[in-house]
Chain A
């Protein structure tokens, strides 16, 4: 979904509407907005603040606290490399390094310039029986070896 084809403010208003006058809506609203745009655009944050009467500073406080929220655009496919204990002892660091080198990412970069992939090491995806494993979008790839990485990546455009 591209942000250009949609009016960010209007879409955000529609998302906020059912939560008006209710408590506990901030996180679900942020989740929905991010689902819509792939990240939390500044304009959407301002709109949420105006609509919910929650201070912008507080909104950013919440958005930056949780690992799930992103303030910058992300790749079309999200690669979650599991760095949990079980995966760690079965060599997930090598997998992570291989993914980074395959995508030719420089240090500190998480998204490829063509927005194809964003890489994200995660604590544990709860598929420890398949260690080491990687999730690309909603698909889990288990029992990986470094050599299986290029094949796995080639499935996603």
Chain B
């Protein structure tokens, strides 16, 4: 294998690709070739680096120089200056690195230095399409060790001892789950990877599948050995075409190398893996619905028991884990369960990947040990709120989760602490909201989603979420009634208890937690017909402050319905009958003369 003096890593994650990283990659390769450097320097397309806000991202090794927002034109400059002359292109450095005297290695940036990247260790570091690079990072060593040195029972014990729990949201002990399936009698069993990442605001599974596909394959092969399965399925949503492509390639490569398929590593262990494309149904993230979908049926959940460990896919004992859970397995077996259990807090061991999004400066993928506080994630790693606005809440766990407020900022993140506060770990979506977000509107947004995705099989979920949504719509339109809050709580509690599957059992959470912490906002909507955040259009009025308006006419031009009148250099006026409250005028006014409340 050729050695190079420098490696240039270009992020090929979804964020950077849509920002044009393909062209950047091409320009770098051309520039390097044109300067005769192609024997000294190589360009690698990697998976997601996590800091999607700053994309497209280019990192030059061995220095670890971190370039952000790189355009093809900039790529030429990187070749001419950095690669040819050894001079760092300062204007492209990450903003916090720009002002320091010495150019820091990117891992010293606050965004990365506070993280512990175990699950994401290869994402953004290796070429995900290359089996060799994965192997060079100790890949498939855990599988070899397990197949040659451990009995299936020992593997289950190790996973139990590591304290790993379901990263898809349930938080059930992975080792226990494996044990149930391992003890279930039968010659034919299945292992399944749930890659139907459907929570709006979550993309950690996508980045893992795209950035380190072999880690999932290796984890599943180890699981199959431990539970006595010889066949597996990865159920991936069709909205992730790149993930599917990379999975299929890595499966083929692993089969050719004797790491999957028949007689793996000459040990007599067989494991075949298939990829199934989802067809667009959120409820298929529920394990029994997912199995129905693989079988080609409507993706509706089945009542449990019998649990999948007894009667799962095609009626055979099966085990389903989420992508992130599988991605941890190989490392646990490679380093040992104690190593993994070393990280974490209380009964939640290891690390958790969060998709940090919303009104935060550094959006992206963040991996931290359990026990890290929400403040550290939002402010230290996330860099605080955009535009210096006031932090209001963080919505954690997607449509099944809940909102946490300022009083929870110092809460150490664990399965138990989040549940106690009324939220859930969920898949790890973390949406930061500021003072401009209306919590009633937010709850309505999530309920619209779960209501639409309810499969309709059980009545509490199908009818109950509809009734709750009707009430929320009424409230945000200014027609709320005094009894609505009590009714929401009553309905929500009933739906949680009586629904068949996780979708219904958690659907009321966003409403119940916002009621718990932001009840005053509901009350303002109902009693005063007022939206404190100025977000619910039916309840806001837009007015021009004549004292501030200089008559620049910008708003008149921006108004799509010609509701603003006035002559040049005279204060303007909004015709409230015509105004559709779109807020276009507020955005263009240079004098902040237009009020929305």
Q: Which residues of A contact B (CB under 8 A)?
A: 23-28, 30-31, 61-62, 65-69, 83-86, 88-90, 94, 122-131, 133, 138-142, 146
Chain B residues within 8 Å of A25, by CB: 296
Contact: B203 with A128, CB < 8 Å? yes
- Minimum distance in angstroms from A104 CB to a CB of chain B: 14
With A25-B296, A27-B296, A86-B363 given, is the CB distance from A124 to B241 under 8 Å? no
With A30-B279, A129-B363, A138-B241 given, is the CB distance from A84 to B200 under 8 Å? yes
The complex places the Cα of A23 from the Cα of B313 at a distance, in Å, of 11
Chain B residues within 8 Å of A146, by CB: 584
Contact: B296 with A26, CB < 8 Å? yes
Q: Lowest 3 A-B CB distances belong to which pairs?
A: A129-B52, A26-B296, A140-B18
Contact: A27 with B293, CB < 8 Å? yes
Contact: B298 with A65, CB < 8 Å? yes
The complex places the Cα of A138 from the Cα of B398 at a distance, in Å, of 25
The complex places the Cα of A90 from the Cα of B434 at a distance, in Å, of 11
Contact of A142 among B18, B239, B279 (CB under 8 A): B18
Contact: B293 with A127, CB < 8 Å? no
Q: Which of B238, B297, B357 has the most CB of A within 10 A?
A: B357
The complex places the Cα of A27 from the Cα of B278 at a distance, in Å, of 8
With A62-B296, A86-B358, A140-B17 given, is the CB distance from A124 to B281 under 8 Å? no
Chain B residues within 8 Å of A140, by CB: 14, 17-18
Contact: B280 with A67, CB < 8 Å? yes
Chain A residues within 8 Å of B239, by CB: 122, 125-126
Contact: A130 with B395, CB < 8 Å? no
Chain A residues within 8 Å of B442, by CB: 89
Contact: A86 with B431, CB < 8 Å? yes
The complex places the Cα of A74 from the Cα of B197 at a distance, in Å, of 26
The complex places the Cα of A82 from the Cα of B298 at a distance, in Å, of 25
Chain B residues within 8 Å of A24, by CB: 276, 294-296
The complex places the Cα of A124 from the Cα of B449 at a distance, in Å, of 11
- Minimum distance in angstroms from B73 CB to a CB of chain A: 19
Interface size for B (C-beta < 8 A) is 56
18 new A-B pairs (CB below 8 Å) besides A62-B297, A62-B298, A86-B363?
A: A27-B279, A27-B296, A30-B279, A31-B279, A67-B279, A67-B280, A68-B238, A86-B201, A86-B357, A89-B358, A89-B433, A90-B358, A124-B198, A126-B197, A126-B239, A129-B52, A133-B18, A141-B18
Contact: B198 with A123, CB < 8 Å? yes
- Minimum distance in angstroms from A113 CB to a CB of chain B: 23
Please give me the residue from chain A that is nearest to B15 by CB atom. Answer: A129
Contact of A83 among B52, B199, B200, B455 (CB under 8 A): B200
Contact: A127 with B200, CB < 8 Å? no
- Minimum distance in angstroms from A67 CB to a CB of chain B: 4
Contact: A85 with B357, CB < 8 Å? yes
The complex places the Cα of A142 from the Cα of B197 at a distance, in Å, of 20
The complex places the Cα of A59 from the Cα of B201 at a distance, in Å, of 32
B55 close to A (CB within 8 Å): yes
B359 close to A (CB within 8 Å): yes
Contact: A67 with B55, CB < 8 Å? no
With A61-B298, A126-B203, A142-B19 given, is the CB distance from A89 to B359 under 8 Å? yes
Contact: B279 with A127, CB < 8 Å? no
Q: Which of B17, B279, B398, B584 has the most CB of A within 10 A?
A: B279
Chain A residues within 8 Å of B359, by CB: 89-90
B530 close to A (CB within 8 Å): no
The complex places the Cα of A127 from the Cα of B203 at a distance, in Å, of 7
With A68-B279, A127-B15 given, is the CB distance from A85 to B395 under 8 Å? yes
Chain A residues within 8 Å of B584, by CB: 146
Can you list 24 residue pairs at the A/B interface with Cβ under 8 Å? A23-B314, A27-B279, A28-B277, A30-B279, A31-B238, A31-B277, A31-B279, A62-B298, A66-B279, A66-B281, A68-B238, A69-B280, A85-B358, A85-B395, A88-B200, A123-B198, A124-B199, A124-B202, A124-B203, A128-B355, A128-B357, A131-B363, A139-B18, A142-B18
Contact: A124 with B200, CB < 8 Å? yes
Chain B residues within 8 Å of A94, by CB: 582
Q: Which of B296, B314, B363, B445 has the most CB of A within 10 A?
A: B296
B206 close to A (CB within 8 Å): yes
The complex places the Cα of A67 from the Cα of B584 at a distance, in Å, of 33
Chain A residues within 8 Å of B276, by CB: 24, 27-28
The complex places the Cα of A122 from the Cα of B18 at a distance, in Å, of 18
**B 337-361 contacts with A by CB, 8 A:** 355, 357-359
Please give me the residue from chain B that is nearest to A63 by CB atom. Answer: B279
